[in-house]
Amino acid sequence: MNRRHVFALFVAALVTVSGAARPHTQAAPAVRVPQESGRGGPAAPPALIAAERAIAATVSEPRMVEAVRRLVAIGTRMYGTPSNHESAAWLAAQFGQAGLEVAIRQDTPRDWYQPVSWEVRIARDAAPDGGAAPAPIVLKTTWPNMGTGSGAGEAPLAIDAAPGSVCLVSRNPTPDTTSGCVAVLFDGRVSSAGWPIVGRSRVAPTVPVFVLAPREANLLRERAAAGEKLRVRFTLEAKAGKGPGETVVATLPGKDRSKYILFCAHGDADSGGPGADDNASGVATVLEIARAAAAAVKSGRIAQPAWDIRFAAWGGEIASSREYLASLGADLSKLQAVFNFDQAGFGSTRDALYVEPDDVPANAAVMAVVRAVMAEHIGAPGFPAHAASLKSQGGTDSYEFQNPRTPGAVQYPAVTLSTSSWDKPQQVPLTPGFPPLNWYPDEKPGMITVDGDAFYHSVGDTPANTTDTKPADMGWCARVGLISALRLMADPTAAAAPGWRRPGP
């Protein structure tokens, strides 16, 4: 069967199953090929499923893994920083090489901070018998707190605050509690995996403040308690300034350029740490969807999409998506749906795909399509074996398109696909009528466990700990997102009517 014939079947099948989308109201059977679709109607025809899986097979997990590594190697990518601009330039080049139209938006200038290089070593005194001093200990979990100042020096280690020392503290350091310290090591906040969480420094910006894992801090405390005289050598080069965040927007042209679907992810590391899962994984997923869709159109595997497909890597979470939303103005007819990706590359305890929110009226049609795609491909190669939709969880960019702050604000259809949320697994109530798909048998009735990322917002959010270990997660997000968008464009009745608004005054 040639590619064009596969595509003809794909379109024909899409037209065959078109009809008013509605929320799923029946439990999906725990089989690899469900007998009922996630839309509450007949399962999609085999020709459609085969065509979608042929497109899905072109999505490359290794390519996404490499994209995450490249982004993390650039730096924190925080709003307005040099690493934000460097990552934007790299992404623009990647989208351009895939054949898309590319623009870089300049968002409102803001204060920014970026650590460039640092090292913390522990020097130990020579042995009492006159032998050579032991080799210095290089601390491997240190990371500068956001906003901490550059500096270099050497001073004795002190447990708690002491003037003229490098102070090791467990309480959140403040100017008062660290007065006189030449640098600070802070081990008071850690992820569930034991890695230090990166935060914003409250100490004077001229004093370097490094977060540190308890496993290394406790070793120092033990040596100090045993009477060892420890000296800390530290260096930190950091930059700060004020400048625009850069958001990359790429477009795959459609037949009707007056409408578009948006795939997006925040490009920054959010906490100011490495940010592999949160959120280089989301950006890598968006880039891979663009590559796969553009290649499929170029090869003739699929026709030119019905509408434009846009891809955005936000310069900063919430801030840039909020500015983009404000730029849409009063024309409500263009943006048809938003697919956002956040923490798309890792889950600590489960292997599942989540989509949210399923309790927002504006999402009814899009949610039905996504759940149908999940149900009809569940357990197939390249797709998750377990999937669920969730109530509103908040805290990510899709919610900016459903603004609750302004009465009467436009409610665009906008969902987020992920494989974890926050730092630890959490049980949340199911939305009535939206049962999980092929779910774990030990789940409490009426509840759903949302997986967490044990390296969330920490120094441990590296590719080696997260996305390298579970590349399939990004693959699930990319395939389900891409197929859902293709179904929406092939079935106009499945797209929510423009101008959805929040119910009530």
Separation CA 483–CA 359 (nearest Å): 22
Q: For residue 287, what is the enclosing H or E element?
A: helix 281-299
Per-residue confidence band for 27, with pLDDT thresholds at 50, 70 and 90: very low
Contacts of residue 226, defined as CB under 8 A and 6 or more positions apart, other chains included, come to none
pLDDT, one tens digit per residue, over 220-235 is 999 999 998 999 999 9
Contacts of residue 477, defined as CB under 8 A and 6 or more positions apart, other chains included, come to 285, 341, 344, 353, 417, 418, 419
Domain 3-110+243-494 has CATH 3.40.630.10: yes
81-99 mean pLDDT: 98
What stretch(es) of the chain map to CATH 3.50.30.30?
112-241
Q: What pLDDT score was predicted for residue 311? A: 98
40-65 mean pLDDT: 90
405, pLDDT greater than 50: yes
474, pLDDT greater than 70: yes
Q: What pLDDT score was predicted for residue 333? A: 84
121, pLDDT greater than 50: yes
161, pLDDT greater than 60: yes
Q: What pLDDT score was predicted for residue 26? A: 27
Contacts of residue 53, defined as CB under 8 A and 6 or more positions apart, other chains included, come to 377, 380, 381, 382
Per-residue confidence band for 298, with pLDDT thresholds at 50, 70 and 90: very high
Query: Poorest-confidence range of 76-85, 125-134, 175-184, 432-441?
Result: 125-134
Does the predicted model carry a pTM greater than 0.75? yes
Mean pLDDT, the chain, integer? 88
pLDDT, one tens digit per residue, over 162-178 is 999 999 999 989 888 89
CATH code for the part of the protein at 112-241: 3.50.30.30
Per-residue confidence band for 126, with pLDDT thresholds at 50, 70 and 90: low
Backbone phi and psi for residue 138, each to the nearest 5 degrees, phi listed first? -90, 120
495, pLDDT greater than 60: no
406, pLDDT greater than 90: no
pLDDT, one tens digit per residue, over 315-329 is 999 999 999 999 998
Q: What pLDDT score was predicted for residue 363? A: 96
Peptide bond into 438 cis (omega under 30): no
Q: What pLDDT score was predicted for residue 504? A: 30
Per-residue confidence band for 376, with pLDDT thresholds at 50, 70 and 90: very high
Separation in Å, CA 101 to CA 92, 151, 247, 251: 9, 43, 14, 5
Q: What pLDDT score was predicted for residue 11? A: 42
4, pLDDT greater than 90: no
Sequence-ordered strand ranges (E) for 294-408: 307-314, 335-341, 353-356, 387-389
pLDDT, one tens digit per residue, over 201-216 is 888 778 899 999 999 9
25, pLDDT greater than 70: no
Per-residue confidence band for 303, with pLDDT thresholds at 50, 70 and 90: very high
Q: What pLDDT score was predicted for residue 55? A: 96
Q: What pLDDT score was predicted for residue 409? A: 83
Q: What pLDDT score was predicted for residue 34? A: 35
In this prediction, what percent of the chain has a pLDDT beyond 90? 77
Q: What pLDDT score was predicted for residue 214? A: 96
Backbone phi and psi for residue 96, each to the nearest 5 degrees, phi listed first? -65, -40
Separation in Å, CA 398 to CA 146, 384, 439: 26, 22, 25
Give one word for 275, left, alpha or beta, with left for phi > 0 and alpha for psi -120 to 50.
left
Residue 186's SS3 state is strand
130, pLDDT greater than 80: no
Q: For residue 367, what is the enclosing H or E element?
A: helix 364-377
99, pLDDT greater than 60: yes
What stretch(es) of the chain map to CATH 3.40.630.10?
3-110+243-494
Per-residue confidence band for 498, with pLDDT thresholds at 50, 70 and 90: very low
